Amino acid sequence: MALTSEATTVWTGDLMTGSGTVTLDSSHAGSFPVNWKARAEGTANTTNPEELLGAAHAACFSMALSNILATAGHPPTNIQTTAAVTFVPGTGVTGSHLLVSANVPGVTEAEFEAFAQDAKVNCPISQALAGIAITIEAELA
């Protein structure tokens, strides 16, 4: 059965001087302000589409890696993933860099790297981002 998740943005004004609010409808996690300046210049206290995409990528990757590790008989104690999504005005999203650190008893660095590469390629958000470069740094904590 397919599950649909929803988020809504209400935008007022033009691109450069306008602003909006992104609401995470499905989770009721709240609303977040968004504007061009935050997207192009990284201003604080305002989100942007790339930060939200990074959140989705980090969560999806962590879940995929957890499943891959557990299926291989190595359930992780914890996984921390940061996804740094790069946006170039005029070009668009050019990449997502995953930085992952995990505590996984009984796994070597080489095994962990292979599991992390598998998760990078196979998590659904990575697959949705197939048109951009996805890189990874993975280490055991």
Whether 1 maps to a domain, the answer reads: no
User: What CATH code is carried by the domain that includes residue 117?
Assistant: 3.30.300.20
Instruction: Please check whether residues 14 and 72 belong to one and the same domain.
Output: no
Mean pLDDT of the chain: 95
Q: What CA–CA distance (Å, rounded) separates 110 from 94?
A: 28
What are the pLDDT digits (tens) for 56-82? 999 999 999 999 999 999 999 999 999
Per-residue model confidence as pLDDT tens digits over 75-130 = 999 999 999 999 999 999 999 999 999 999 999 999 999 999 999 999 999 999 99
Count structural domains, the chain: 2
Strand segments (E) across the chain: 8-12, 19-24, 30-35, 78-88, 92-103, 133-140
Q: Which of 57, 36, 58 is nearest to 48 (CA)?
A: 36
Question: Does any domain span residue 110?
Answer: yes
Amino acid (one-letter) located at 122: N
> What is the per-residue pLDDT for 11?
97
Whether residue 44 has pLDDT greater than 80: no
pLDDT of residue 1: 86
Quick one: 106 and 78 in the same domain? yes
